[in-house]
Amino acid sequence: MSHGPLPIARPIVQPKESPLTQFAAVTFAETDLDSIADATGRVAVVVSPDGKLGPSARRVNKLTRGALKRLVESEGFAKAEGSVITLNWPAGLVAEALEIIVLARRATAEDVRSAGAALGKSHDTRDLLLLGGNLVPLPELIEAAVLRAYDYTDHKTEETKPLGAITVQSNDAEATKAAAADLLAVAQGVFFTRDLVNAPANDLTTSSFADRLSEMSALGLKVEVLEEDELQRLGMGALLSVGQGSASPTKVVVMQWNGGGDEAPLALVGKGVVFDTGGISLKPAGGMEDMTMDMGGAGTVAGAMRAIALRKARANVVGLVGLVENMPDGLAMRPGDVVTSMKGDTIEVTNTDAEGRLVLCDVMWYAQDRFKPAGMIDLATLTGAIIIGLGHHNAGVFSTDDALCNALINAATDVGEGAWRMPLGKAYAKQLKSRVADVNNVGGRPAGSITAAEFLRRFVKDETPWCHIDIAGVASVKAETTFAPSGGTGWGVRALDRLVRERFEPKG
């Protein structure tokens, strides 16, 4: 509901131009043993856990006068699988450091992730020569290293020097390059999501967020921005009610990738609350600064759409995000207000801090009405309750369709992103009963993440396979993860991309 001119002029800080965080340049070359001695920066070599040395490792051992062989024969070396051991200023090499990557030729995915992340964590402005040899999961090792070598510096005044280049030598450079291409495209999507989640709210306003998404039209996405007057015409009263108290206009951005045939698209829907004070149901001051990440669902959808476009996925996917700011104000939605959704259901707003579901329900209904999707997945930093249940290790997944849900969880597991299925049920839905409206927006403290999912389920059509992912515990974290430093993780971009690849693209 458009509220017209504001009674008091409130300037919005002009967002700064925020270029995308770039990861290290990666190039591929055939194995060249003669290049090792004079390589600068760092040299990384793969060694089997049983101490066997391949051709590159044998050359390194010769250059370092047997230092590598002495290391692999030392006590405890066999227990180091998946780790990276650093020898600084190695004799016989120009490089400042020699990184020994301990991996079997067909190492497990977990070990590859651990080793790649360790390599990426220590990556700095120095160049890196990675001697991959015939390591089978070499592309995944590169991906992990690139993902972990991330640092958000947009608002630091000290000049940031670019990361050193990574040169990957392997026994089949063209095959390695081809296998790594899609992984590196998806990594760009992850970085985009992290940048969005890490951005402060006076930078990432609803308008600047929409602008950044519109720029992705250059990648082949069809991008539309629906403004408040159009949202009013469509009847999105639940979504619009959330932004009544903010000077930032509410928007919905639609991103379409048409890489398939005539089949119905997969719809990805994201909650994009660029800052959440809780509204009139004001949050405590302690920790409120973290609510810049309450647009994490929209950030994940944006990153996934970027990844899908960059690797030119052979599927039809549409991403829709509701962008809004939840502020307390004389015009803000109040506890006890009744709002009307696009579906037509009336909603009693008992708590204005349960605003994410009001954003999602209208965008989800619009997605189904317009696109008739083959499946719909929404993502949101929706409830603190999911953190109590699952901590910061797993996102909570709720679903009405076993096939879609299992495929999603399998995709997340394949890429090392934690996801755990949670229950739904009529008993939980009964907690949302309202005395004055069709439904209440909250169901009390018990099972808070489940009742939130049940609220959203009300806005899912019977014919639509649906998953809801509560990413409140995994979108932004205080401690580093395998793939990321503290802050925005980019969780979900890789899982969604893998789901699209495995379930919605033709095989072969």
Nearest-5° angle of CA 457, CA 463, CA 469?
40
Question: Collapsing DSSP states into helix, strand and coil, what is residue 378?
Answer: strand
Domain end, chosen from 128, 150, 175, is at 175
Token pair for residue 328? 């307390």
- Asked, for residue 186, whether it belongs to a domain, the answer is no
Q: How many domains does the chain have?
A: 2
Do residues 423 and 346 both lie within one domain? Answer: yes
Summarize pLDDT for 40-99 with one digit per residue, the tens.
Answer: 999 999 999 999 999 999 999 999 999 999 999 998 787 888 999 999 999 999 999 999
The whole-angstrom separation of Cα 381 and Cα 176 is 36
CATH of the domain at 325: 3.40.630.10
Question: Collapsing DSSP states into helix, strand and coil, what is residue 169?
Answer: strand
Do residues 222 and 368 both lie within one domain? Answer: yes
How does DSSP classify residue 432?
G
Number of CB atoms found within 10 A of residue 17's CB: 8
pLDDT at position 15, please?
Answer: 55
Active site residue 430: no
Cα separation values, 228 from 3, 23, 72, 202, 349, Å: 10, 36, 65, 20, 21
Domain end, chosen from 146, 175, 204, is at 175
Do residues 81 and 198 both lie within one domain? Answer: no
Do residues 30 and 132 both lie within one domain? Answer: yes
Task: Pick the catalytic residue from 59, 148, 306, 357.
Answer: 357
Do residues 299 and 433 both lie within one domain? Answer: yes
- Asked, for residue 369, whether it belongs to a domain, the answer is yes
CATH of the domain at 162: 3.40.220.10
Question: Collapsing DSSP states into helix, strand and coil, what is residue 370?
Answer: helix
Spatial CB neighbours of 451, under 8 Å, sequence gap ≥ 6:
428, 429, 431, 432, 442, 443, 444
pLDDT at position 6, please?
Answer: 43
Token pair for residue 310? 């960059």
Please say whether the beta carbons of 44 and 101 come within 8 A. yes
Task: Pick the catalytic residue from 58, 126, 283, 334.
Answer: 283
Please say whether the beta carbons of 384 and 482 come within 8 A. no
The whole-angstrom separation of Cα 283 and Cα 297 is 20
The residue ranges of the chain whose pLDDT is under 50 are 1-11
Cα separation values, 96 from 37, 69, 71, 85, Å: 11, 19, 18, 14
Token pair for residue 440? 């209440």
Question: Collapsing DSSP states into helix, strand and coil, what is residue 65?
Answer: coil
CA atoms within 13 A on the CB side of 402: 0
Do residues 343 and 475 both lie within one domain? Answer: yes
Do residues 31 and 170 both lie within one domain? Answer: yes
Do residues 397 and 500 both lie within one domain? Answer: yes
- Asked, for residue 156, whether it belongs to a domain, the answer is yes
pLDDT at position 9, please?
Answer: 44
Please say whether the beta carbons of 84 and 100 come within 8 A. yes
The whole-angstrom separation of Cα 96 and Cα 32 is 19
- Asked, for residue 468, whether it belongs to a domain, the answer is yes
- Asked, for residue 180, whether it belongs to a domain, the answer is no
The whole-angstrom separation of Cα 277 and Cα 355 is 10
- Asked, for residue 480, whether it belongs to a domain, the answer is yes
Do residues 162 and 206 both lie within one domain? Answer: no
- Asked, for residue 154, whether it belongs to a domain, the answer is yes
Do residues 253 and 378 both lie within one domain? Answer: yes
Token pair for residue 279? 């509204």
**Burial of 462 by CB count in 10 Å (0-12 exposed, 13-18 middle, 19+ buried)?**
exposed
Please say whether the beta carbons of 130 and 166 come within 8 A. yes
Summarize pLDDT for 163-201 with one digit per residue, the tens.
Answer: 999 999 999 999 999 999 999 999 999 999 999 999 999
The whole-angstrom separation of Cα 9 and Cα 6 is 7
Do residues 116 and 168 both lie within one domain? Answer: yes
The whole-angstrom separation of Cα 193 and Cα 360 is 19
SS3 content of the chain, % helix, strand, coil (to 5): 35, 20, 45
Nearest-5° angle of CA 484, CA 490, CA 494?
105
The whole-angstrom separation of Cα 287 and Cα 299 is 20
Question: Collapsing DSSP states into helix, strand and coil, what is residue 149?
Answer: coil
Q: Is the pTM of this model over 0.85?
A: yes
Active site residue 357: yes
Token pair for residue 104? 């079997």
CA-based Rg of the chain, rounded to a whole angstrom? Answer: 25
**Burial of 218 by CB count in 10 Å (0-12 exposed, 13-18 middle, 19+ buried)?**
exposed
Do residues 213 and 77 both lie within one domain? Answer: no
Q: Which domain holds residue 135?
A: 26-175
- Asked, for residue 10, whether it belongs to a domain, the answer is no
Cα separation values, 65 from 57, 60, 77, 88, 130, Å: 12, 9, 19, 15, 20
Element (H, E) at 268: strand 266-276
